Amino acid sequence: MKEALYYKKLDHDKVQCELCPHYCVISRSESGLCKARRNINGKLYAFAYGKLVAAHLDPIEKKPLYHYYPGRDILSVGSYGCNMSCSFCQNHELSQRVYDVETIFPEQLIEKVTGLGIAFTYNEPLINYEYILDVCKLMRKTRPDKKIVLVTNGLINEIPLKQILPFIDAFNVDLKGLSEFYKECGGNFESVLTNLKLMSEKHLEVTTLLVTEHVTLEDVEFLSRTLSEIDQKIPYHLSRYFPNYLMTEEATPVHFMFDAREIAKRYLDHVYLGNIIKDHHTVCKKCQSILIERSGFRSTIMIDTPDCTCGYNNNLVGVIDEK
């Protein structure tokens, strides 16, 4: 265990966590909402530090990141816990449980890195803030050619985000929907929107799961327009929902998926459908030539430069490296 950053001590051995907008007040021997941060004898500890429950070598496209070093594999790792409580969680076995597993220290993890680098994913990575920060700092010193990617719900306070931001190379943020749906999920839309603006300093892609009867076409239009006001070149992934965990609504209708994509394309250059087996290619916004051809999670680079030969910037990173 490691003493947590971003908390303050209160009376009667209580502490208040200041990592995310929940500001959990945690009594002695109890954990915060996220399950990963625990009060031990009046101090807050990163209780999930190095407790990695899942690890796989995945295509970068599976995060999903379609415009960031396409065709590369990345070591994807996850711990347990989450600071949101989505009833449709796709990884609820990790996010809603606590696991007692052997600690993998930063130097041990970095030794195992193959491929592009490390993606912290599966559960919410930022609740394991201290561990990720330590990995990032050590990676910069020992393996500076490797990348750090976060797949996150984006629910973190601004000050800790700004501290870790210089060490992160790319983000995919799970943007749930509008404010009321965020409340149902135990999140805060305004906080995530602020963080998206900060994260856009790095490579940023965004995903929205189109949960049946909870995310409407009007919502998709609002979210797409909001993202375009940050940067119209942000790749936007609209993913098809299937019943999972506590939610039993039927899967998102296929026609709804395609309607949502057409609406999002009014505002953003690149919109992709997830959990549908077609229409994954990256096409130049201006001349419509195919830039990246995809089959499943595998990519074939079709151009020789990071931008299209017509001169339009399609926000592709690492394309020359992989051609």
Which contiguous run of DSSP H or E holds residue 244? none
Indicate the pairing of strand 147-152 with strand 117-120. Answer: parallel
Check residue 305 and give its pLDDT. 81
Check residue 13 and give its pLDDT. 97
Q: What's the Rg (C-alpha) of the chain?
A: 20
Q: Is residue 93 part of a domain?
A: yes
- Using left for φ > 0, alpha for ψ between -120 and 50, and beta otherwise, residue 108 falls in alpha
Q: Is residue 109 part of a domain?
A: yes
Give the predicted TM-score (pTM) of the model.
0.96
What is the crossing angle of helices 254-264 and 217-230, to 10°?
30
Which neighbouring-strand residues pair with 78? 54
Q: Is residue 293 part of a domain?
A: no
- Token digits of residue 216: 């409407």
156 and 262 share a domain? yes
List CB contacts of 248: < 8 A, sequence separation 6 or more. Answer: none
Burial class (CB in 10 A: 0-12, 13-18, 19+), 249: middle
Q: Is residue 310 part of a domain?
A: no
132 and 30 share a domain? no
100 and 31 share a domain? no
Q: Is residue 288 part of a domain?
A: no
Check residue 39 and give its pLDDT. 98
36 and 105 share a domain? no
Tell me how far the alpha carbon of residue 312 is from its chain's centroid.
27
Tally of structural domains, the chain: 2
Check residue 53 and give its pLDDT. 96
Check residue 312 and give its pLDDT. 94
Q: Is the sign of the CA dihedral 222, 224, 228, 234 positive or negative? A: positive
> To 5 degrees, how large is the angle CA 48–CA 185–CA 260?
120
173 and 96 share a domain? yes
141 and 17 share a domain? no
Is residue 34 a contact partner of residue 156, using CB atoms and an 8 Å limit? no
The domain of 11 spans 2-46
Q: Is residue 289 part of a domain?
A: no
73 and 175 share a domain? yes
191 and 137 share a domain? yes
252 and 132 share a domain? yes
What residue spans of the chain are helical by DSSP H? 92-95, 106-111, 129-142, 158-164, 179-185, 189-199, 217-230, 254-264, 319-322
Q: How confident is the chain (323 residues) per 10-residue block, as mean pLDDT?
A: 96 98 98 97 97 96 96 97 94 90 97 96 97 98 97 98 98 95 94 98 98 95 98 97 93 96 97 85 93 89 85 91 49
65 and 108 share a domain? yes
Check residue 323 and give its pLDDT. 41
If one counts every other C-beta atom within 10 angstroms of the C-beta of residue 179, the result is 12
Query: Which CATH number characterizes residue 75's domain?
Result: 3.20.20.70
120 and 41 share a domain? no
- Token digits of residue 156: 């973190």
If one counts every other C-beta atom within 10 angstroms of the C-beta of residue 145, the result is 7
List CB contacts of 36: < 8 A, sequence separation 6 or more. Answer: 46, 47, 48, 79, 80, 81, 127, 128
State the Cα torsion 93-99-105-108 to the nearest 10°. -60
Q: Is residue 287 part of a domain?
A: no
Q: Is residue 308 part of a domain?
A: no
Tell me how far the alpha carbon of residue 174 is from its chain's centroid.
6
25 and 74 share a domain? no
